[in-house]
Structure 1
Amino acid sequence: MDWQEISGNWVYIPRQPRAVIHFLGGAFVAAAPHLTYRLLLEDLAKQGYVIMATPFINTFDHRAIASEVYNRFEDTLELLQKRRYLPTDNLPIYGLGHSMGCKLHLLIGSMYDVDRAGNILISFNNFSARDAVPLMGQMPVEFNMEFSPNPQETLKLIAEYYDVPQNLIVKFSNDTLDQSYTLGQTLKQIFPGQISTLTINGSHVTPLGQDFQWQLNPQIFTPFDAIGQWFKQEVHRDLHQLRREILDWLEPVASR
C-alpha cells in the first residue's frame, strides 16, 4: 500500500501492522511530511509500523497546533479501525517527532490523557520566537510576539503534567539547534530510569535525508560525480543509523 490522505493525515499501512507511529515534523517542513521525511518513514513502515503523519502550518500558538494534530490523529485512527484497515483496535501507539514535532508530542502528552506506548523525540527544539523566527529580534517591542507556551512554560508544563514514561531522546553530534539536554534532565526527574538518551552522527536535517538519484555517466567520471556519491553515502549512513536506533528502541519497548 502507498501513501493515502485520510482525514487530514498522510497514512502508510504495511501488510502486517504491528504498531502505529504518529509522526510530527519540524516547523518549516511539516506541511508535507510524507514527502520531506519519506525515506525515514517508509523504512519504518517496511518493518511493520503504520505511519500516520499529520501535516500542520506553524503559528505562534503551539497549544492550538498540538490540539489540532492530536484530534486529527484520533479521528483518523478511529476511521481506520471502523474500516478494518488495522488488524486490531489494540495496536500500541508511539509518538515520533522531529524538532518542533517533539514539542507538540510533549504538549499532547501534557494536555491530554493519551494512550502512548512511548515517544521518540529527535532534535528537540524549544527556542523562543526571538531566537527561532528570522528578524523577530529587530522588530519594535510592541510587535514582538512569543510562542504559546513559551520555552519556560513548556518545560514547566512537561514537569507537572507529562504522562508518557517511556521516551527515547535523540541528539545529533553536529546540531546547533538541539536542546535535548534540558529536556532529558526534566524527563529523568519525572521518570527516573525510564528515559533513554542517545547522541549519533548527523545534523539537525539528517531525518530529512532523501534518496538522491545521482546520474553517473559510465564513460566519464568527474570530480562532481565523486562529490555527489560521497554526499549521498554520508547522508544515507547517518539516516540509516537513526533508523536502526529507532527500531532497536522500539523492539524491547513493544514487548513490555
Structure 2
Amino acid sequence: MDWKEIRGNWVIVPQNPIGIIHFLGGAFVATAPHITYRWLLEQLASKGYVVIATPFVNTLDHTAIAKSVLLNFDRTLERLQDTATLRKLYLPIYGIGHSMGCKLHLLIGSRFQIERAGNILISFNNYAAREAIPLVEQFNSTFAIEFTPTPLETNKLVQEQYSIRRNLLIKFSNDTIDQSAALTKILQERFPEMVTAQTLPGTHTTPLGQDIKWQTGASFTPFDALGQWFKQEAYRDLNELKRIIFLWLNPLSPP
C-alpha cells in the first residue's frame, strides 16, 4: 500500500474509492497511526476506502485535540478533492476511533457541524486523568489535573449534542479498561435502533495487530508448523474485527 503524508495526515487513496475513513488511534500510539495500525488500515484501503489517519499528541485538553484533528482532516480532504482522484465524487465519510480516538470522534460529533455516515467506536474508555495517566494521583492533591472535558462532562455532551446517528460500538472480551457499556446505553437512548454493540474475542490492543511474515524453509518442519499455528491464533481476533467492521460499513458486500 502506498502511504502518503498530506498536510500532516497519513493517507491511502485506493483506485475506485467507495468511501472515506477518518481514523483516530489511542492516546500513546496515535502519533504514527500508519505504523501502529498499519494492518487494519491497509485492509480498509484494500476494500476501497480512502484512509485519512490523523496523528495527535495527547494533552489534558481533549476539546482542543478534537478541534485540531478535525481541522487537519478537513484540510487533507480538501486537498484530495482538488485532485483528479476524488474530484466530483460524493463519498460517505465514516469515523473510526480506537480507545481515546473514540472520545475525540464523540467530541467532534458533539461540538462541530460535520457530515458523517456513521462512526465505529472501538474499545472506548473515558477515564479521569488520575486513572489514565501514571503519577497524576501523586500530584492531584496539590494541582487540579483533569481532562477537558471531564468524563461526566463528556457523557452529558454526548447525551445532549452528539449528532452522528449510526454507530457501531466494539468491545473485546478480555479488555479490562473498556467503558463501551455506559456509552452504548447513552447512544441507544439518543438514537434508538441506530446503534449496534458487539463484543468480540480479543484485548484492548487487538486493533494494533500486525502482519507476521512467516517464511518456511525448503522443507516444512515442526517449527514451521508451530509458527503457522501462532500466526493463525494471533490473527483470529484481528480478522474477526475486520469482518465485523466491513459488514457494518457495507452489509451487502462479500467479506
Counterpart in 1 of 2:109? 109
Q: Deviations over 1:28-50 (max 9, x none)?
A: 10000011001001011110000
Counterpart in 2 of 1:2? 2
Counterpart in 2 of 1:74? 74
Q: Deviations over 1:102-138 (max 9, x none)?
A: 0000000001111000000000010111111112212
Deviation of 1:186 after TM superposition, in Å, equals 0.5
Kindly report which structure 2 residues correspond to 1:180-219, keeping only aligned pairs within 5 A, or say none: 180-214=180-214, 216=216, 218=219
Kindly report which structure 2 residues correspond to 1:3-18, keeping only aligned pairs within 5 A, or say none: 3-18=3-18
Equivalent-residue separation in structure 1 for 2:48 and 2:214 (angstroms)? 29
Describe the SS at the equivalent of 1:143: coil
Counterpart in 1 of 2:247? 248
User: Which AA in structure 2 matches 1:113?
Assistant: Q
Equivalent-residue separation in structure 1 for 2:207 and 2:192 (angstroms)? 28
Residue 99 to residue 140, structure 1, CA distance change in 2 (3 Å): closer
Equivalent-residue separation in structure 2 for 1:167 and 1:46 (angstroms)? 22
Using the TM superposition, name which of 172-181 and 229-238 deviates more: 229-238
Q: Deviations over 1:22-78 (max 9, x none)?
A: 000000100000110010010111100000000001111100000000000001101
Deviation of 1:252 after TM superposition, in Å, equals 3.9
Describe the SS at the equivalent of 2:250: helix
Count of residue correspondences: 252
Residue 143 to residue 231, structure 1, CA distance change in 2 (3 Å): farther
Using the TM superposition, name which of 87-96 and 159-168 deviates more: 87-96
Counterpart in 2 of 1:235? 234
Give the alignment's TM-score, normalised by structure 2.
Answer: 0.93
Using the TM superposition, name which of 36-45 and 206-215 deviates more: 206-215
Q: Percent identity?
A: 58
1:121 and 2:127 matched = no
Equivalent-residue separation in structure 2 for 1:133 and 1:242 (angstroms)? 27
Deviation of 1:90 after TM superposition, in Å, equals 1.6
Deviation of 1:214 after TM superposition, in Å, equals 4.1
1:38 and 2:11 matched = no
1:90 and 2:90 matched = yes
Runs of 4+ in 1 over 3 A off after TM superposition: 214-222, 225-231
Q: Deviations over 1:165-208 (max 9, x none)?
A: 00000011110110000000000110011100001111100000
Equivalent-residue separation in structure 1 for 2:136 and 2:201 (angstroms)? 31
Please list every run of 5 or more consecutive structure 2 residues that lacks an aligned counterpart in the other structure.
none
Q: Deviations over 1:187-233 (max 9, x none)?
A: 011001110000111110000000123455547645xx666544322
Using the TM superposition, name which of 207-216 and 45-54 deviates more: 207-216
Counterpart in 1 of 2:130? 130
1:165 and 2:165 matched = yes
User: Which AA in structure 2 matches 1:246?
Assistant: I
